[in-house]
Structure 1
């Protein structure tokens, strides 16, 4: 077939594709034999083979959407996208970038993983939530399927914290999903959920919690509101030791680049001082670069706070809605 005829054919074939992705069987129905189709995927051809029996009507590398469409074509009916790829489609940006398209299919399906398509059979196939025409596992299932395959703690923390802060899930739903699904790869997300139950809201605060525990200090409160005897707001420290009235703030350099943020920090520290609260301030980088030094500082601050009368402050009680 000459160039002009192929140009016309490509335009027609594109209309039968999904974002340029098409099955070899569909091409055959349109009059393109499998022999011709696969020849066009060889060096010098016009197309690219993506997965078994699935082609891209271009020589370029597939983009994210084309990879998703190819994976869904491989898995066929009832498949849903889950894991890190689904998290990205829910507009979650923390954690690790997806290296493959993770799919869930009914347990009876016989489709096998291939290339960038990872197919997981499950007896607990969730109902799909469609985003831009793509069937996704619900956010709770999607993020847990993603972090189960991550072996590093920080990306697990980052993705779960972002999903919760964005309102896509909560700790109760995450624990429920962990308890009903596979137990493989659940140790790290369970650890993160335990941190979140203590009020941790960022990776830096999780690092701080580890350092605090290594210091052997009493179990802390995280991100609780502290008030004086009249109920007037004083502050919401990153970490609070209620036994002695000690606040620990993790303040980054970037935070102080803003004049307004710096002014708020000064005002916060003034309120702490007026209430008799001892405060320790630590840069996030020090939690990993010199944790032993930070531990020594915390122990010294705790010992000093223990020697003076505890300030007349308390944690503001919250009532259930």
Structure 2
């Protein structure tokens, strides 16, 4: 059979040795030797050219190797959902026996999770993909970034992630710890801010409370509020707000703070992550300056 006909019967140029045999190619392996026209992707899976495979070809080969009913999960599934997951491995779930190798992770799942088709591939829900991706991670920061991105982009909710972590508990300690920490914060940056605040041990801050003046007029909702000295701490970056319009409101917000006599420390998430000691010094100095002047006539108010 001509190569054009074989490619027509393949999926993106990927084909099983079983299919090749049915098409009259009983032994494809000589063609997969170095310098040959084809290449071996996995046991029983051949790519009908010898150039670098595309990512879609790698995924196709992984699903073909895993067998009928296989679905994508983990980092690759996260990326298909538009989430910034790292990791070159391809993680698939199967209903039967599992055998992977190298960067292919094949895992038996019972029951099999629901899946949807994205870019022509069967993909688990974003929540399951995130939890499975975190199971392959060792870094809390990396897992936190992925979990926070999934929530902020609206791909899943904290509740759906917790449910997946409860249902599929093997190897989920890291993601459960991340969810517990993020449960007290609204972003990765705020998590880092809380950790820094605990380390430098200033007076206890209030997180995400509303501040009003003596007449009850709302002034702002700082990420952290040191009520005893009237100091606001804002972690400002478009990437860490749920709505980009929040960033555009930064200037009038700061004008309201200034008019009420509130000192404000503004910190970029990148500095909080990369220069925590410098941020700590700035916060200490601002706290000292705020304590040295009369406290403004402002107060914490309950949201309407």
| Residue 13 of structure 1 pairs with residue 2 of structure 2 | no
Quick one: structure 1 residues 54 and 219, their matched pair in 2 at CA, closer, same or farther if it must change by over 3 Å? Answer: farther
* Rounded Cα–Cα distance in structure 2 between residues aligned with 1:28 and 1:199: 57
The 5 A counterparts of 1:161-200 are 161-187=148-174, 189-200=175-186
| Aligned 8 A contact 2:59 2:90 in 1 | yes
* Rounded Cα–Cα distance in structure 2 between residues aligned with 1:126 and 1:233: 46
RMSD: 3.0
Structure 2 residue runs of 5 or longer lacking an equivalent are none
| Aligned 8 A contact 1:198 1:221 in 2 | no
Quick one: structure 1 residues 199 and 205, their matched pair in 2 at CA, closer, same or farther if it must change by over 3 Å? Answer: closer
The 5 A counterparts of 1:151-300 are 151-187=138-174, 189-201=175-187, 203-217=188-202, 220-228=205-213, 232-242=217-227, 244-251=229-236, 265-300=250-285
Measure how far apart 1:132 and its partner are: 2.4
The 5 A counterparts of 1:92-103 are 92=83, 94-96=84-86, 98-103=87-92
| Aligned 8 A contact 1:86 1:136 in 2 | yes
| Aligned 8 A contact 1:47 1:58 in 2 | yes
Measure how far apart 1:278 and its partner are: 2.6
* Rounded Cα–Cα distance in structure 2 between residues aligned with 1:186 and 1:129: 27
Quick one: structure 1 residues 158 and 315, their matched pair in 2 at CA, closer, same or farther if it must change by over 3 Å? Answer: farther
May I ask how many residue pairs the two structures share in their alignment?
A: 299
* Rounded Cα–Cα distance in structure 2 between residues aligned with 1:183 and 1:241: 40
* Rounded Cα–Cα distance in structure 2 between residues aligned with 1:183 and 1:246: 44
* Rounded Cα–Cα distance in structure 2 between residues aligned with 1:162 and 1:261: 17
Quick one: structure 1 residues 290 and 18, their matched pair in 2 at CA, closer, same or farther if it must change by over 3 Å? Answer: closer
Quick one: structure 1 residues 50 and 290, their matched pair in 2 at CA, closer, same or farther if it must change by over 3 Å? Answer: closer
For the residue of structure 2 that corresponds to 1:40, the secondary structure is helix
| Aligned 8 A contact 2:219 2:257 in 1 | yes
* Rounded Cα–Cα distance in structure 2 between residues aligned with 1:214 and 1:275: 29
Quick one: structure 1 residues 191 and 88, their matched pair in 2 at CA, closer, same or farther if it must change by over 3 Å? Answer: same
The 5 A counterparts of 1:296-311 are 296-302=281-287, 305=290, 308-309=294-295, 311=297
Measure how far apart 1:137 and its partner are: 1.2
* Rounded Cα–Cα distance in structure 2 between residues aligned with 1:262 and 1:138: 30
TM (normalized to structure 2)? 0.86
For the residue of structure 1 that corresponds to 2:108, the secondary structure is strand
| Aligned 8 A contact 1:89 1:131 in 2 | yes
* Rounded Cα–Cα distance in structure 1 between residues aligned with 2:57 and 2:296: 62
* Rounded Cα–Cα distance in structure 2 between residues aligned with 1:110 and 1:254: 42
Measure how far apart 1:91 and its partner are: 1.4
* Rounded Cα–Cα distance in structure 1 between residues aligned with 2:35 and 2:277: 60
Structure 1 residue runs of 5 or longer lacking an equivalent are 1-7
CA deviations 1:182-219 (Å, max 9, x no partner) are: 242422x2333233222332x43332222112122455
